[in-house]
Amino acid sequence: MSSATTVRVDIDDAGVALLTLDGPERLNAFSGATASALSQAYRHCDSDDTVRAVVLTGAGRAFCSGADMSSAAASFDAPGKGFSASPVQPPAYRVRKLVIAAINGPAIGIGLTLALQCDVRLVAADAPLAIPQVRRGMIGDCAVHYTLREAVGLAVAADILLTGRTFTGTEAARLGIASRALPAAEVLPAALELARDVAVYANPASVAHSKRLLWSGTDLDQVAEAETTVHLSLMGGPDAAEGPAAWRERRPPRWRSTAGETGDPA
């Protein structure tokens, strides 16, 4: 029997980190060891200022088939001291870079709830998706009762979480759970293309500030106040002139600010 799903990390010259859940023999089933490895990968991506964007995908034909139910993974399944229903720390939404989920195949249970912690989701049109925990005597994890509701609203979130039903990537895009549904072979290339575009053209500090506001959960007045604070900070920085200059000169910008300058690490 194969070992637990690992996380493979590849960083290209553009600063895009590709994180691959790597356990294709078990459809990348998720264990405690996988959670530790993904947590470490996210921490590295957050702290390394050469990383400008992150793509999370699965090896082989699946994204992640859910929790590993084998005996070797029992420590993940059995609650004990320090147990958390959010085993990946930091979650993707705390990483100060754009994180794209390239859902190349089945994403079930924690496979889908992890993807919902990402900023953008591209999905294989025919991929089966589900958060079936209510059919297993449990409930969804990884803060999905917040992330899914925020993404699609209460009615759709209730449909998915309270029925535990299986749906396709095509329906996920229609419901707003994913940005795009594509043929499976096109999902990862499209995600990498988007990540590389952001890595080259988007200001790292601007992305980090904007992402923090998007995921803050604060009210309208607090967000408006925070936007003003960020504007005042960025306007005095070196990139306020560089962005417009690069646009006028039709060249890639040469950013000087970093995500690491924007606040506490993930």
* More confident position, 81 or 48: 48
Q: Is the pLDDT of residue 223 over 80?
A: yes
Plot region of 137 (φ>0 → left; ψ -120 to 50 → alpha; else → beta): left
Provide the whole-model pTM.
Answer: 0.91
Confidence of residue 80 (pLDDT cuts 50, 70, 90): low
| Domain formed by 203-262, architecture | Orthogonal Bundle (1.10)
Q: How many Å apart are CA 210 and CA 144, to the nearest integer?
A: 21
Q: Which two tokens stand for residue 18?
A: 């590709």
- Mapping DSSP onto H, E and C, the string for 90-119 reads CCHHHCCCEEEEEECCCEECHHHHHHCCCC
| Closest of 70, 148, 79, 76 to residue 107, by C-alpha | 148
Q: What is the pLDDT of residue 164?
A: 97
Kind of pairing between the strands at 120-124 and 98-103: parallel
Q: How many Å apart are CA 264 and CA 45, to the nearest integer?
A: 14
pLDDT tens column, 88-108:
999 999 999 999 999 999 999
Q: How many Å apart are CA 194 and CA 171, to the nearest integer?
A: 22
How many Cβ atoms from other residues are within 10 Å of residue 94's Cβ? 19
Name 19's bridge partners.
9, 56
The domains spanning 6-199 and 203-262 adopt the same CATH topology: no
Residue 174, C-beta contacts closer than 8 angstroms, at least 6 positions apart: none
| Domain formed by 6-199, architecture | Alpha-Beta Complex (3.90)
Instruction: Taking residues 109-113, report their average pLDDT.
Output: 98
Q: What is the pLDDT of residue 257?
A: 85
Listed by start position, the domains of the chain span: 6-199, 203-262
Residue with tokens 């970093």: 258
How many Cβ atoms from other residues are within 10 Å of residue 132's Cβ? 18
